[in-house]
Amino acid sequence: MIFRSKRAIGKISRSSSSKRFGAQQNRLGGFKRFLMGCLKLGIIGAGVGALLVGAVVIYFTRQLPDIESISTYIPAETTKIYSADGVILAELHQEENRIRIPIDDISKTLQKTVIAMEDTDFYKHNGINIKGIMRALYRDIIAMAFVEGGSTLTQQLARNLFLEKQKKIERKIKEILMAIEIERKYTKVEILELYLNQVYWGHNAYGIESASQMYFGKKSKHLTLAEAAGLVGMLKGPELFSPFRYFDRFKRRQRVVLKRMEVLGIITAQQVEDAYNEKVSLASRKRHRYKAGFFSSYVVDQLIEMYGEETLYTSGMKVYTTLNYKLQQHAEAVVKKYMDYGKQVFVLKGERYPSLNYTEASLIAVDPRNGHVIAMQGGVDFSESQFNRTVQAHRQPGSAFKPFVYLAAFDKGFSPGSIVSDMPVTFNTIEGPYSPQNYSLKFSGNLPIRRAFEKSVNVVAVKLNDLVGPSTVVSMAKKAGIQSNLTPVLSLPLGANEVSMIELVQSYMVFANYGKKVAPVSILRIEDRNGVPLYNHRFKETQVLDENLVVTLVDTMRGIVDYGTGRGAKLPRPVAGKTGTTSDYKDAWFFGFVPQMVCATWVGNDDNQPMNRVTGGWVPAQMWKAFMKEALVGVPAQDFKYPRGMVKRRVNWDTKMLASADTPDDAKVTIEKYWVGTEPKVFDTLDMIEKAKRQAKRKLEEDGLVNDFFAM
C-alpha cells in the first residue's frame, strides 16, 4: 500500500514538474531549430545573392569600356569646311567650345565650390557614396520615379564620358562599377581635373575654362567667389539657369550654392552677402565663329541633310567648297559700304530724305559655266541675323523678270527691231480693268523692242506678254530654273510673283551660258577623317533653251547696261544685265553678267517697308559694279556671241518702215536687227509735193516771209 502510495504520490509529483520542464525544453529546441533554419536560409540566400551580384557585376563589367582610355580621351573629331582658296571656314563638332587645362590653372575657390555642392564627401569615398545612394533610392521610391541620382563626381565623370544620359537601372549599375574602377586607377586630383574639363556648362561650352571665358571673358583661375558660385549653381540645369537667358534664375542658384558653402563652414555669412551682392559682369556673347557665315551655314544645312547632324559633328569630315574667300571678304565690304551709303541725307526730285531707308542688302556671285558659288553675302551682318536673303527670302523681282517675256517674244517671231506702241492701254480681265503704267508715268509712242527693253518700259512688256501668252512666259521661266509658283497673269513682266534670289541667279546663269542649265553648287567634294572620298560633285549641264534665242536675248541685254536703266553697272568690257524695281520701292535689284560670272545684288527691308526712291539702276547697280571690278581682276575681257540668222535694217520708228532718202530729218531712225524674213521691206513713201512744200516753207521761213498756203 505504502509502496503504491509512494509510488502514486511520486508519480503524481514527477508528472507535474516534468511536464513544465519538457515544455520549456521543447520551446528552446524549436527556437534553436528555427534559428538554425534561418541561418541556413540566410547563408544560402547570401550565397545565391552573392552569386547573383557576382554574375551581374561580371556581366556588366564585360560591357564596360576601357577605363585606361580616360587618360587619352579627346572629343569627337572635328569636321572642317574649306574654301576653294584653302581657308578654313568652319570647324564643327559637338563639343564646339572646349579648352582643356591642368587643375593648377583652375581657381581653388571654384574647386571647393564644386565639391561643396556636387559631392561633399569627394575626398572620403572610393567612387560611390552609400549614404547618398540610399537617400536617392528612398526619394525615388517615394516618388515612384527616378528623381534623384545620388551620384558622386566620379560617377558623373563616368556617365559623361562613356554612358547615356537617361536614368536607367542598367546605366546606374555600370556607372557605379566604372566609378569604383576609376577611383582605383586615378587619384582624386586627376579625377577632379577630368571632371572640371568635361562637364557641360550650357551654350555648347564644355569644361570650366570654356565656360569661364564665354560667360565672364576671363580665365577660370581668375574667377571670383560670386562667379564660381554662379557657375556651379548652373550645373543643375545649364540652359535653365544661364545668365544670358535667365539672369534671375542664375542669381537664385548662386545664393543656394553660397548658403551651402556657409553651412559647410567654407565661407562666412558675410562672405555670402558680399558675393551675392557683387555685380556680375557678363561677357559679350559670340553666337557664331564661322567665316563667311551665310555661305558656311548654307553648306552646313546641306551636310546635315546628306549625313545627319550627329555624323556631321563627330565624324571629322573634310568638306571642300567653291567659295573664293578673298572675293567673299570683298563682297562683305561692298555690302557694308552701300549700307553706310544709304544712311546719308539725300535730296531726290526736290524732296529731302534723311536716308534711303533700307536696312538690308545681299549679294551672290556664281560661275555660270560650272555653277560654282564664288561669293554669298546673305545680309549685312551674320552675327545679327542668320536669315540668308540669297536663298531663303522670296520677294518680288520687279522688272528683273522681263527677260523671260522678251525671250518668249523672240521665240514667237518678234525681233529686237520689231516696233510696239508705248501708249496707254487698258485690258479687261476677270479682276476688272488693268492699265499698266511706266515708271516715269510717261509714254514714248512707237518703240523697237530693243529700246523698250533698255528703258524697261512696262507697257510694252505687258503688251508682249499678252501677245505671246502669260503661260508661255511661265514656261520659259520654269525651263530656265524658276521653281517658285508662278501665276500666268498680265502683270507677270513686272514681277507679280515672288521668287528667291538664287532662283533668278540660276536663270541668268542659263542666259550667260547660252541656254545651258547648270545648277548652283557649293560643295565640290567630301573626305572622311582618313582622306577617303565620301562625295564628289558630278558636273551636269543640260541645254534647256535654244542657244540662238538666248544669244539674241543677251545681245539686247547688253544695251540695258550700255544705254539703258543699267548704266550704273557699266564696265570697260562687254556686260549684260537687267534692273528690277518694284512699283512701291520695296525691292531694288540688279542682275548682271559677263561670260565668266553672274552676280546679283539687292537692297530692301525685311519688314517690306518702302525705300526712298531707290531703284535697281541706282544702289544695286553700283554695288554690282563695285564688286565686279575686283572680282574680274585678272579675268580677260570676253565678248558675247553674236546672234545668227539676223539682218540689220535702217528703220523709221514712226512708220515702222525702212528709212529712205525721203524720210524727214526729225524722224526717229535707227539701225535695228531682225530675223531674216521678218525685216521691213517697204521704204517710207512721201508725196513729192508734200516734200516740196516743206522745203519751200523752210526757205520762206529762212527769208522771213509768210505764206498762208504753207501754214495749212
The fraction of the chain above a pLDDT of 90, given in percent, is 63
Q: CA-CA distance, 280 to 69, in Å (whole number)?
A: 38
Mean pLDDT value across residues 593-622? 97
Report pLDDT digits (tens) over 216-233. 999 999 999 999 999 999
Same domain, 257 and 357: no
Q: What pTM was computed for the model?
A: 0.67
pLDDT on residue 599: 98
pLDDT on residue 160: 72
pLDDT on residue 56: 45
Same domain, 615 and 662: no
Same domain, 488 and 583: yes
Instruction: Kindly report the backbone phi and psi dihedral angles of residue 446, in degrees, each rounded to the nearest multiple of 5, phi listed first.
Output: -70, 135
pLDDT on residue 11: 35
Query: Which one is catalytic: 95, 118, 193, 209?
Result: 118
Is residue 323 a contact partner of residue 522, using CB atoms and an 8 Å limit?
Answer: yes
**pLDDT above 80 for 687:** no
**Cα(first)–Cα(last) distance of the chain, in Å?**
190
Same domain, 32 and 131: no
Mean pLDDT value across residues 669-690? 82
Q: CA-CA distance, 703 to 532, in Å (whole number)?
A: 93
Last residue of a domain, one of 242, 258, 277: 277
Output the 3-class SS for 104-163.
Answer: HHCCHHHHHHHHHHHCCCCCCCCCCCHHHHHHHHHHHHHHCCCCCCCCCHHHHHHHHHHC
Q: CA-CA distance, 420 to 417, in Å (whole number)?
A: 9
The phi-psi region of residue 630 (left if phi > 0; otherwise alpha if psi is between -120 and 50; otherwise beta) is alpha
Q: Is residue 250 part of a domain?
A: yes
Q: Which residue has the cell 511520486?
A: 10
pLDDT on residue 22: 54
The phi-psi region of residue 608 (left if phi > 0; otherwise alpha if psi is between -120 and 50; otherwise beta) is left
Q: How many CB atoms lie within 10 A of CB 706?
A: 9
Provide the number of structural domains found in the chain.
Answer: 4
Q: Is residue 152 part of a domain?
A: yes
Active site includes 281? no
Query: Which one is catalytic: 107, 362, 399, 500?
Result: 399
Report pLDDT digits (tens) over 318-349. 999 999 999 999 999 999 999 999 999 999 98
In this predicted model, which residue has the larger pLDDT, 306 or 124? 306
**Cβ neighbours of residue 452 closer than 8 Å, sequence gap 6 or more:** 420, 422, 460, 461
**pLDDT above 50 for 10:** no
Last residue of a domain, one of 230, 254, 277: 277
For 382, the domain range is 351-365+374-592+605-631
Q: CA-CA distance, 226 to 216, in Å (whole number)?
A: 11
Q: Is residue 286 part of a domain?
A: no
Q: Which of 418, 428, 321 is nearest to 375 (CA)?
A: 321
Helix (H, G, I), strand (E, B) or coil at 405: helix
Range scoring the smallest mean pLDDT among 102-106, 131-135, 561-565, 689-693: 689-693
Is residue 316 a contact partner of residue 529, using CB atoms and an 8 Å limit?
Answer: yes
Active site includes 399? yes
Mean pLDDT value across residues 266-290? 86
For helices 169-185 and 153-162, angle between their N-to-C axes, nearest 10 degrees: 110
**pLDDT above 80 for 172:** no
Q: CA-CA distance, 196 to 287, in Å (whole number)?
A: 23
Q: CA-CA distance, 700 to 707, in Å (whole number)?
A: 8
Q: Which of 520, 87, 510, 501 is nearest to 327 (CA)?
A: 87
In our burial notation (b when 16+ CB lie closer than 10 A, e otherwise), range 225-234 reads bbbbbbbbbb
Same domain, 264 and 395: no
Mean pLDDT value across residues 622-631? 98
State the pLDDT confidence band at 645, using cuts at 50, 70 and 90: very high
Same domain, 626 and 651: no
Mean pLDDT value across residues 351-365? 97
Helix (H, G, I), strand (E, B) or coil at 13: helix
Last residue of a domain, one of 277, 312, 327: 277
Same domain, 545 and 432: yes
Q: Is residue 358 part of a domain?
A: yes
Q: CA-CA distance, 189 to 656, in Å (whole number)?
A: 95
